[in-house]
Amino acid sequence: MNIPSNLKYTKEHEWIRVEGEVAYVGITDYAQGELGEIVFVEIETVGETLAENATFGSVEAVKTVSDLFMPMSGEILEMNAALEDHPELVNNDPYGDGWMIKVAINDLAELDTLLDAAAYEALIG
Partner 1 sequence: MKTTPFTDIHIALGAKMHEFAGYNMPIEYNTGIIDEHMTVVNSVGVFDVSHMGEFWVKGPQALPFLQKVCSNDITAIPIGKAQYNCFPNGKGGIVDDLIVYHYETEKYLLVVNAANIDKDWEWVNANNAEGAILENASDRMAQLAIQGPKAAELLQQLTSVNLNEIPYYAFTTGTLAGVDDVIISNTGYTGAGGFELYFYPQFGEQLWHAIFEAGKPYDIKPIGLGARDTLRLEMGFSLYGHEIDDTTSPIEAGLGWITKLAEGKPLIDGDLYVRQRAEGVSRKLIGFELIDRGIPRADYELTDGKGTVIGRVTSGTMSPTRKIGIGLGYVQTPYAKIGTEIAVSIRNKELKAIVVKPPFRK
Site for partner 1 (CB under 8 A): which residue of 60, 93, 97, 121?
A: 60
In the sheet with 101-105, reading across from the earlier edge strand, the strands are 8-9, 14-19, 22-27, 101-105, 74-79, 49-50
Strand partners, 19: 22
65 near partner 1, judged by CB under 8 A: yes
Binding mask 2-41 for partner 1 (x = CB under 8 A): ----------------------------------xx-xx-
Contact 105, 98 (CB under 8 A): no
Contact 38, 61 (CB under 8 A): yes
Of 23 and 68, the one with the shorter C-beta distance to partner 1 is 68
Site residues (CB under 8 A) for partner 1?
Answer: 36-37, 39-40, 42, 58, 60, 62-63, 65
